[in-house]
Structure 1
Amino acid sequence: MAAFEVVFRGQVRPGVDIEQARSRIGQLFQVGERQLEVLFSGRRIVIKQGLDEAGAQKYREAIERAGALCEIVPMADEQVSAPASEPAPAPAPAPAPEPARPAATAAAAIQPRDEYMAAFRDVQAPDLPIAPLGADMQDSYSEFTPLDIDLSAFSLAPVGSDMGQLPRSPAGPIPDTSHLHLADEGNND
């Protein structure tokens, strides 16, 4: 089965404001300003890899709805580093020797494509799916210890009652102002 990767280069759709697209992409991927700077730097950023064609198309549609452009690139089986069309990064100083890894882990290691992805090189995280709509996200509690709190002094108020609000004080009688009148400017009576 063919695998695809979703590549983003920070381009926006024609007629879309760059700041509006940045804001929408930030909301879509739930990233901060620092990560947005990396995403919109113009460099080749792989958003997701190892997808089937339908999954890659879903990413493309979501990114395009946000106002940006991306491309779907088929992955080669031996693809473990940046494509030959991009300039090779400057050689880094030799790192300290790493402890020996099992042969299976070393063979499956993938080289990061840029310094942003290099930060995630040693992260061991599963590719978690999104839960379906309406799914219960709360863990079940198998061990529950009730607290020893006496609540017998509390009771429930009847439906529609005021919950602890103080009653309004009566405003008092309205004063009788019928005997008052306004005098004309020339008349001092």
Structure 2
Amino acid sequence: MRLYEIAFSGRLMPGAQPDAVKANLARLFQADAQRIALLFSGRRMVIKNNLDEAAAEKYRVALERAGALAEVSSMEVDVEEVEMAPPPPMPAAEPPAESTPARRLQVAPRDEYMAAFVDVEAPDFGIAPIGADLQDRKPEPQAPAVDLSALSLAPVGSDMGQAKAAPAAPAPDVSHIRLM
């Protein structure tokens, strides 16, 4: 099924007045003046796409009645057939060196995309058994060695040298004030 798109680039039907066309399009699309001004910016704006031929023709006729010259274009894209190049030859697998601490995983590529990753070295970590703890154990925290021999405790209820609170100020004399 062929699909079409409707586009508008600001062109008007012959003899159409720009202000009348803008008002007609605003009424047709139920849009504000800012959106209508965007349609008349001179750039090609796609109004609707993925339409069948009948729907595209209805849009074109409605826009022409409003005074706007719409473009109907097919959305089919010509695709050029490209033949893929053969994958590069596989290098001979080398046995892992004895000095390497971890085994290296040798993987054969499954397609051309994965052939690009043949030379990537990835360690073979394997899989841990079910329920295994994968995080290293943390050492128990050690209490810091602090010398407290120079400190002593004051007896209960003794003054520790806190600042004394200032005595409360005398209450103001309000005997001369009367409420009526």
TM over 0.5: no
TM-score, reference length from structure 1: 0.40
Larger radius of gyration: 2
TM-score, reference length from structure 2: 0.42
